Structure formats: structure tokens, C-alpha cells
Structure 1
Amino acid sequence: MSRPTVRRALPVVLLSTLVLALPVTTAAAAPGAETLTPTCSPAPPVSHPGCGTAYEGAPLPDGTPNQVVQLSGDDRYATAVAIARHGFPQADVAVLVSGEDRHLVDALSAGPLARTLAAPVLLAARDAVPAATADYLRSTGVQSVLLVGGDDALSATTPDRLRALGITDVQRVAGADRYATSRALAAFMPTRTHGWAASGEDAHLVDALAAAGPAARLGEPLVLVADDDPIPAGDALRTLGVTQTTVAGGPEGVAPEALAALPAPHRAAGTDRYATAALVADESVQRGVDDQDVVFAPGVTGHLVDALAAGPLGRATLLVGDEQASYDAVEAWFETYGAGRVTAVGAVEIDG
């Protein structure tokens, strides 16, 4: 297998921060699809008409090297829908989160829960359900929607807007703050011995985004840790049976004193966000995540929301940007694992 090369390039479209030059191979035959079976124990926070039902998921890689899938839309809302149509062509349940940057943190732990429900993560504005989101809900026949975050993220009138679209059940998971919301989401995850943790500080949210895909694939909880009050995060993980925790990011995000509150913690931390994401991805591969089916998501401020929507796909995730460190991390990944299928989301564009 020839190793793809990565080169520096100028942005070529309005939203792109990176263009990767990889050999693109068109698959010779259509692959099969993933089977998604909702986990309904513990009982989900929203009614699920398909518990125990097999749903069609994303197309499986067919083994062709250097395969590229591009998932993007005209804006962040349409990009989330493009990801949903790829990963969740059949769905009875959807998870709806704020698509506004200031509320990004509310949904960082939503990806793992969404996948256990065989549900995509879709985006909305505080006081509106965008047309792309509404079209997916109608066309897919979604019956139940779980809102994540408080009224300041998705207003109290959001359920009425969803019911007007034919949604029969709308529920909400929200805590007093971002950390409590994270723990509330994790509480609906199945029992696991391994879990994930990351900082909930605005400057370090990108670490949680990198961990969401692997946590979703493995069906493991992802909680946010507050440096000044880490004990609740540790207690939440232990309640789920977690005896070992992978912490995404270095001490600037989760301080050593906070780390000590988590069950048997160890870090996956690099010198920057790109190296950290690569280390998180590498650890996920060691835990059973496919190294030949990876997501490339924007790792730059203003486009992080695309990585949020990609979490439920359940894939190792590399964050990319316009810095040399990003190119170095991607190059190192391919040197180690080669290239199978790469799915580029949002502002990441792959140039064949």
C-alpha cells in the first residue's frame, strides 16, 4: 500500500482551513452497512420505539485503500445533517444540541449516548430548528428527540417546534452547569469498566471532541472534569462501573489534583491539540477501534462544531488545521497505520 502524503496548502473554499492531498481511490463495489442496535438498559431518557431493533448505519469500508468520503453542507446545520444521513440513514430517535459556539460545551458528552440510541446528533439554534435539520427529521421519520442543555441553549419553545414537525416525544437532559450536564448524559450509558474524561474549560474543549468518537464506538462514557471540583466526575464514572479512565489532554486542561479524583487515570496528551487527538485515536485503536476508518474534523476555533456532529459515527478522530503540527500528526498517523477510509467533515477538504 502506498503511503499518502500530506502537504501544506492554502485554503481553497470559504470554510476550509486545510486541504489534504491524498490519493483518492473510488471503491469498486458498494460495501455493506453497519448494524446499529439501540442499548436500552438503562432505560433511555427518551422513548425509543426500536429497542432491540437493528437499524442500518453507515456504509462499511470495502477494504479499498485511500478511500475518501466528504461530508459537508452549506453551513454547520447542513453539515450535521450530511453526517447524519451517512451514519444514520434509519433513525427513530435523534439527539438535538445547540449549534451555537457558546453552547458547544453542553453537548460534548452527547456523542456516546447518541450512538447507544442509534441516533444522530443534529444541531439547532436557540429559537429555531433550521430547515436542514427539520428536513432530516421529517424524511427519516424520527419519532423522539432528546434535547441536550438548558433553555439558554435550546429554548423552552423548542419542543413545540419539534412537535409541529411530527415528533411525538421530546425530552431534555440538562444539569446546573456543563459538568452536571455531562454527568447526566453519562448516567444513561451502559455499565463499562473503562471511561473517558476531558476538561470542560473553554480553551480545552477540543480534547473532549477528539475523545467522543472512540468513546461512542466503544459504548463508554465521556465526562467533563472541573479542576476545582473533580470529585463528582470521578463518582459518576465509578457509578457506571469504571475502574480505568483515559484522560484526553494535559495538565493545562485537567490538573494533576483533579486527575487524582478519577478511577485509575492515565493521560493521552501531546504537545498540542493535534498531537493529543492523535494519541487519543491511537489509544482507541489499542482498545479495538478500527484504524482503517478514521474521521478528519476541524480542530480550529469556529469549526469545532463539525467534530461534535461526527462523534456518534464512532470512529478514531484526527483534528486538523492550518498549522504544521496538524500536518505532522496526520503524516505520523499514516506512517503507522496506512490509509483505509478517511471521512472528512465540514471545513476539512481532501484534495485528490
Structure 2
Amino acid sequence: MRDMKMTSKKIIPLFLVTLFIVCMMSYSHAEAASKENHYSFTNGERTVKLTNQIEVKVNNKEKASVIVTRNGEKVYSNEEFAKLSDLYIINKDNQQYLAVAYRMDGSGQALFFRILSIKSDQVDEIYQSSTYSRAKLSIENSKVQVEVPTYEQGDNKSEPSSISSLEFTINGDKVKLKQETKTPVKNAITTQSSGGSTQVNERYTNPSYQEISRILTEEAEKADIPAEVLKAIAFQESGWQQYWSKGNTPVNWYSDQCGNWDGTNVKLGYDCIGIGIMQVSDYRYLTEGQSKNKYVKRLKEDIRFNIEEGIKILESKWNYYDVRSKKYSNGYPYIPTINNNDRDIIENWYFAVMAYNGLSDRNNPITNAYSPMAYQEDIFKNIRDYSLVDVTPFPTHKLFTQDSILLNFGLENVKMNGPLHKSKDTFTAGETAYASVNDLNLRSSPGGNKLMKLNAGDKVTITGDFKANSSNTSHFVWYPVQASNGTRGYVAGSYLNQTDDVTSYELSGDRRYETSASLANFGWHWNQPEAVVIGRGDLPIDSLTGSVLASEFSSPLLLTETDQLPTEVSHELSRLSPKKVYLLGGETGAVSKSVEQEVHDLLPASDIKRLAGETRYKTSYAIASEVADHASVDQIFVTTGDENSPDALSIAPYAGEKNIPILFTESNHLSQSVKDFIKENSISSATIIGGTTPVSNQVKSELEQLTGKVTRVYGTDRYKTSIAIAQKYYDQSKMDKVLFTRGDETVDALSASSLAADYQSPILLTRTDGIPKVTEGYLNKAVLQPELYYIGGENAISNKTRNQIETYLKR
């Protein structure tokens, strides 16, 4: 018995060793088989032999070329503006397939793949996938699976809200998406630092956000890149984290999906590619070996180096404008320049920022205008929200994509109106600076007690070095300053300028239609409107009353030709993609049925509603009734229905702000539609806009009988009426925004009325080549230095007139 026990003790270990060897052999065989069916690629040339007859030649340069030969004869070839990352051999039902996976340049490492059918006599491409940003591709037992991180607004790219799993099946010469599942990250991934099956080595700790802000600022200055741009990219990529904080490393995901995970809390992307604060990803095409390993190790362990490498990538994308080396087959550069291509201008980095993430359709700002936004739009919104620099929205309505795998706008340069902004992290001690906004707090310390208020144009002196914030959502810095009265304190650097120039914007287009698109693009660039109002542009009388409806929904007012949507308007309408569209006026005299059909074709899911009557008076009644359906209405504005009169133009912003309908009347008697509206809505007061010629005292008497209270606001000409309205309805001591439009043509102002209502600001009329005396007098009494908005180009308001306006308003 004792001998049997001893024998069994010897047999059991032997059995276990044998079992282990068998398992390892099986594992090794599985690994070998896997590697035989999966090939990864770096830069340069490589040939893969699929069978004795078939070879695949891959050349990864700036473009990736793939050539399949059979017995030396080419049977398939393709070239892409992307890097070929992987080849997979798939065998199913006695048929061989080849999956060819590509990755686009950029931190997004956008993935797309093709499936080729390999037959005895030919090679056919049977499928091309969509492009998936930051995705992971895996193929096992002929099942093709793509894991795609999905983001909600506010997510950084290393921390998605959920993971979408897409499973594709191959049947003969068909590839179909079999299923798509979406799993919230918090449910799909257990984050743990101890216990469980895998333990994280949390060896790394992030520097403080204050230190990270300082490093980003220093490195941006060295590279001559606006610090605000670099900070926003680092935030979007990683939330300003090189490493996962304690207990938050996504262990299950990394251990299951990322064969390159080193077991530490280094912040990898969910595609297992991006590394660290800048999610650097271009290393993957380096030749395997010690040099690459050292580089990757440094990317993980040295946050400043990671930032420097991110800057190199961004710099290379900036140079994509150089058509000598970076151009499409149509001769245009990868990205256009903006204005004079000055590196110091934040807005000029728009396309380089886009390219940092990748020139994939995912970053098309027309089709990805809102949640989720195109990458560069997120970045510039970050600059607004976290650096507090009021960057000018990029005029995306000017962009039209060409037919190309990569985003190709077919442009060499884009003209962008100002104001354009330089970095606010560049002031030095002893330098003079000026407040750029009104009501700016001078504080005892960064974020400390308020000492006094500064207004736009007030001069201060920088007295020392900046101090950074200890938050990853406060990218701006604080400067110690001395005000003109000797008070010392700190102000947010984002609100300082190097000059005391008045801030002014130009919102314009080649025609009135394009101007309306420009206004919509500017005013509703990052906030999607619920509705859009569309009115006739060549006789915009209906748009005057419709401006109140647009303001009620905080929506843009677009102008159209009677029989067709202008191209830029159509383009902008697609970008806005509202739930509801209002058409103003009838099918024959205002907005045709064909335009309505165009709108329906563009926005098939939107509710389209026409507001019209047999006459302009009845149309104003229909629009006013729609306003009353959505807001409490107890007063109205009444003005002439004469389309040549500009009297009511300047009241539109205030009427829209207060949801007060504008109704048209005939000159010598009150229109029946006005009477009906008053009775149906129990209107208690009315205000006539205009003098006794356009709206007679007879009309006033009839209104008094119906409402009991009637006032009249007017001037002896359109300019004086404009000022009379501004004086009555706007407090000049608090007015920090003013819109200007030409007085001899009213249509541009109508498109601007909803924006003015949002700003709670007046629209003032001016002549093209000079300021009316009444307007001069009004501007001379300005208490604040307001932001100015010129509606229309230089042909509408000349530079001479603009200089005059700004001279009067400069403190």
C-alpha cells in the first residue's frame, strides 16, 4: 500500500507535467495558427505568401498600396491615403477570404476594412466597411467583430460612455452586419486595483492639474503654438491625465482586449493604441525592436515627452497645407489655410486640429455639427468653455466636401472674418494690457475676493508671472495686474488684450441669402436650434413678423429664393437639422411648393409647417397666432404693411426677445386681421411703430377702442426711428452688444433679429458711407465699450463707417 502511495505521488506530478506540456503545445499551435492567419504591418514593404500561387505585396508609405498576384500576375490592386495595419486570412465553407484593415493617420486611428474573396481564377472585393474612429478589429472563426467606443457630449476620448460591438458575417459573396450591441462602459468594464483575477500595478501618479497646465503652456510657447489649442487637445484626448487615477484603470477591458497592456495604470485608449495625455498613436508603425520599445516606454513614463510628441504630430498636421508635398489627386492640399496662415491666431489652427484626430468623414463639421461633434468643433468649444477665449466659430457653411476617402474640401484658402484671437498666455511683467469685456472682476488672488470691476478698454499693467488653475476644466491662467487707479489684484488672462481696440464681428455673405446662412452658422454654431424659420428673401415683408417667431424658439431665420433654396442656405439647413421648419407665406407669392419639397428632401424627419394667409396682413395674423400658441401674449406691435417702409425693422429684436407679435395694418384703417387677433387673444395694449403717414391717427383711434392703451414710437426718418426704439427699449448703461445694418436695405437686419434678441441688443441703422447725425449723438452717450456686429460686408457698411462707429465707442 505504501509503495502504491509513493507510486501515485510520482505519477500525479508526471501526469501534471505531461498535461502542462500538452496544453502548452496546443497553445503554441493555436498561437502559430493565429499568427499564420494574421499579419500586422509597419512602415515600408512586405510580401505575404498566402498559398504557393498567391502573394500579397504591401507597401506602407504616405499611401498604402496592396497588390495581390497569382503566379506573378496581378489580380487585384488598391491604394489608400491610410496605413495598412493588418491582414487576416479567413477560411469559411471551403472558401478563402482576405480581410484588409487600414488605419488613418491621427489620434483617432480611424479604422476601415475591406473583404476580398480569393477564388481559383480571380480576386473580388466584396465589401468595404464604414470608418470607425478609435475602434478595435478582431477576427476569429470567420466572425468579424469591431469594437467602437461611443461618446456623449463632454466625454474625453480615452473615457467613452459606451462600447458598440458590431458583428459581421460572411456568406458567399455577401458581408452583412449581423448585430450591433451597445454596452455602457461602467457595466462592461470592472475597474479595480486589487482583488479579482487581475491586479493593476498602480506605479504611476499624475502631476497636479496646475503643474500640467504649466507644462502645456511652456511647451506650447516653445513650439509657437497657441497654448489654448494644445490644452484643449490634451483635455479632449485624456482629460489631462497621463495615468488612470487610483482604482479607475479599466482592468477587464485591457486584459481581454489589449495584448500590449503592461499591467500598469498608464492611460491607453480603448483601441489599445493611444498612449498618455496626448494619446500618441503613430508609434505603431515603427519597426519592432529595442528602439521602438524605448520610445513607447518613454511615452508612458514621461508626460512632458508625451506632450512634446503630441506637438510634433500637430505640427506635422499644420504643414498639411503645403501642396508641394501634401495634395490630393485633384491638386488641392490636404487642408486649406485660413486667412494669412498666421500661427499665432488660434482660429487658424482649425484644420490642423482636425487632422490631429484624422481626416476621416467623422470630422466633417457639416454632418457632425452637434452631439457628437466633429473633433475640431469639440476642441474649439473647449477653448471657449475652459480657456474662456471667445473664439470666432469657423464658417462651416463655406465648406463643401469632395468625393474622397479622406476629407477633401477642394480649397487652398478660407477667408474668415474676425475678430481673431491670439493666445492669452503670453503676457510678461511690465507689459500693458486692456480688459476685453465689460464687468470683469479684479480679484485679491486667483479666484479670490472681488476688489473692483473693469470694463472693456480699461488699461492694466502686468506685474508678474501667471498662475495656473488647479482644475482640468479651467485652462486659463491668472495674471497679477495693477489697475489705472493703483489697485493691485488678479484677473483671468483670457479677458485681456494687447490693444484697446473695439471688438467687432462681420456676419456677411455674397448675397442676402448667404448672409442669413452666415448669421445662422455663427449664432447657432454649437447650440442646435429646435426650429428654423424660412422666409422669402427678395420681398421679405413676411420675414419681419416671422422674426418674432424665430426669436421665440431661439432659432435662426433663413432667407430663400421663391422657387429654389440657395446652395449655402440648403447647406446650412442640413447642418442645423432642426426638428421643425416654418415656411412663411404662400406657395405662389412667397415660398413655393418646390422649395417646401427641397426642405422635406433635406430633412425628411422634420415637421414642416407653412404659415400663410391670402394677403400679407393675414400672413402676419397667422404668424402672430403661432407665437400666441407658444407664449403668453397680452400686447402687440402694429406697423404698416408697406414693404418699402423700414419703420418696424429695429423693433424686431425687442419684439422677439419679449414674444410680442408684430402685425401689419393698412395706413388709413385698422386691418381686420389685427382686430381679430386682439379679440381672440384679449390684447390689452398696442404700440404703433412709425409716424402718422404710414400708420394714421385713425388706426390709433381704432386700436384705443379695442385695447384701451396705445403708444406710438417713431422718428422723422428711418434712422431716427431706429434710435427712438433703442432709447425706449434698451438701457444704454448696460448695453454691451450692438448690431449695425444698412438703413436703405432692410433684409439683412431681418435675418439678424433673432440673434439680436438672444443678445438682448438693439439693431441700429446706418448709412453705408457714414453715420447719421442722430446715431452719432446716441453713440456719444455710450457708457460701455460694446461688442459690435456688422451685418453685411463692406458694400453694406464701409470700413470708413466702421472706423467712425468704433471711434465713438472707444473708451
Q: Quick check: TM above 0.5?
A: yes
Looking at structure 2, the residues matched to 144 and 306 of structure 1 have their Cα atoms a distance apart, in angstroms, of 23
Give the match for residue 318 of structure 1: 764
- Is residue 294 of structure 1 aligned with residue 738 of structure 2? yes
Give the match for residue 79 of structure 1: 515
Equivalent of 1:334 in 779, 784, 806 = 779
**Kept after mapping to 1: 8 A contact 2:741/2:748:** yes
**Kept after mapping to 1: 8 A contact 2:562/2:591:** yes
Change (3 A) 1:273 1:188: same
Give the match for residue 416 of structure 2: none
Change (3 A) 1:277 1:167: farther
Shift of 1:228: 4.1
Give the match for residue 641 of structure 2: 200
Give the match for residue 488 of structure 2: none
Deviates more, 1:191-200 or 1:274-283: 191-200
Shift of 1:240: 3.6
- Is residue 185 of structure 1 aligned with residue 623 of structure 2? yes
Gaps of 5+ in 2: 1-383, 393-435, 439-455, 458-501, 807-811
**Kept after mapping to 1: 8 A contact 2:687/2:711:** yes
- Residue 619 of structure 2 aligns with an amino acid whose one-letter code is T
Change (3 A) 1:212 1:117: same
Give per-residue Cα distances to partners, 1:71-120, cap 9 Å, x unaligned. 111111111111112222322321111111xx211221011111111211
- Residue 180 of structure 1 aligns with an amino acid whose one-letter code is K
Give the match for residue 657 of structure 2: 217
Give the match for residue 536 of structure 2: 98
**Kept after mapping to 2: 8 A contact 1:96/1:124:** yes
**Kept after mapping to 1: 8 A contact 2:742/2:797:** yes
**Kept after mapping to 1: 8 A contact 2:742/2:768:** no
- Is residue 161 of structure 1 aligned with residue 606 of structure 2? no
Shift of 1:134: 0.8
> What secondary structure, in the 3-state scheme, does the structure 1 residue paired with 2:548 have?
helix
- Residue 30 of structure 1 aligns with an amino acid whose one-letter code is V
Q: CA RMSD in A?
A: 2.6
- Is residue 124 of structure 1 aligned with residue 565 of structure 2? no
Looking at structure 1, the residues matched to 506 and 769 of structure 2 have their Cα atoms a distance apart, in angstroms, of 21
Change (3 A) 1:162 1:203: closer
> What secondary structure, in the 3-state scheme, does the structure 1 residue paired with 2:730 have?
helix
**Kept after mapping to 2: 8 A contact 1:278/1:317:** no
Looking at structure 1, the residues matched to 671 and 695 of structure 2 have their Cα atoms a distance apart, in angstroms, of 13
- Is residue 112 of structure 1 aligned with residue 548 of structure 2? yes
> What secondary structure, in the 3-state scheme, does the structure 2 residue paired with 1:294 have?
strand
> What secondary structure, in the 3-state scheme, does the structure 1 residue paired with 2:633 have?
coil
> What secondary structure, in the 3-state scheme, does the structure 1 residue paired with 2:534 have?
strand
- Residue 123 of structure 1 aligns with an amino acid whose one-letter code is L
Shift of 1:202: 3.0
Give per-residue Cα distances to partners, 1:255-287, cap 9 Å, x unaligned. 11012222322111111110011101221216x
Give the match for residue 343 of structure 1: 789
Looking at structure 2, the residues matched to 311 and 317 of structure 1 have their Cα atoms a distance apart, in angstroms, of 8
> What secondary structure, in the 3-state scheme, does the structure 2 residue paired with 1:260 have?
helix
Give the match for residue 242 of structure 1: 683
Looking at structure 1, the residues matched to 511 and 391 of structure 2 have their Cα atoms a distance apart, in angstroms, of 29
Looking at structure 2, the residues matched to 271 and 312 of structure 1 have their Cα atoms a distance apart, in angstroms, of 26
Equivalent of 1:275 in 703, 720, 736 = 720
In our comparison, the structure showing a higher alpha carbon Rg is 2
Looking at structure 2, the residues matched to 136 and 199 of structure 1 have their Cα atoms a distance apart, in angstroms, of 32
Question: Once the two structures are aligned, what percentage of the paired residues are identical?
Answer: 25
For normalisation by structure 2, the TM-score amounts to 0.34
Looking at structure 1, the residues matched to 679 and 728 of structure 2 have their Cα atoms a distance apart, in angstroms, of 21
> What secondary structure, in the 3-state scheme, does the structure 2 residue paired with 1:308 have?
helix
Looking at structure 2, the residues matched to 121 and 278 of structure 1 have their Cα atoms a distance apart, in angstroms, of 24
Count, aligned residues: 292
Give per-residue Cα distances to partners, 1:209-230, cap 9 Å, x unaligned. 1111111112211111212441
> What secondary structure, in the 3-state scheme, does the structure 2 residue paired with 1:319 have?
strand
- Residue 716 of structure 2 aligns with an amino acid whose one-letter code is T
Looking at structure 2, the residues matched to 135 and 271 of structure 1 have their Cα atoms a distance apart, in angstroms, of 41
Looking at structure 2, the residues matched to 106 and 250 of structure 1 have their Cα atoms a distance apart, in angstroms, of 21
Give the match for residue 389 of structure 2: 30
Looking at structure 2, the residues matched to 171 and 32 of structure 1 have their Cα atoms a distance apart, in angstroms, of 35
Deviates more, 1:264-273 or 1:234-243: 234-243
Looking at structure 1, the residues matched to 725 and 789 of structure 2 have their Cα atoms a distance apart, in angstroms, of 17
Looking at structure 1, the residues matched to 687 and 696 of structure 2 have their Cα atoms a distance apart, in angstroms, of 14
* Greater relative CO (CA pairs within 8 A, separation 6+): 1
Looking at structure 2, the residues matched to 316 and 167 of structure 1 have their Cα atoms a distance apart, in angstroms, of 36
**Kept after mapping to 2: 8 A contact 1:295/1:316:** yes
Shift of 1:323: 7.6
Gaps of 5+ in 1: 1-26, 34-60
Give per-residue Cα distances to partners, 1:6-50, cap 9 Å, x unaligned. xxxxxxxxxxxxxxxxxxxxx9953599xxxxxxxxxxxxxxxxx
Shift of 1:231: 4.8
Change (3 A) 1:211 1:191: same
> What secondary structure, in the 3-state scheme, does the structure 2 residue paired with 1:129 have?
coil
Looking at structure 1, the residues matched to 748 and 671 of structure 2 have their Cα atoms a distance apart, in angstroms, of 30
**Kept after mapping to 1: 8 A contact 2:634/2:684:** yes
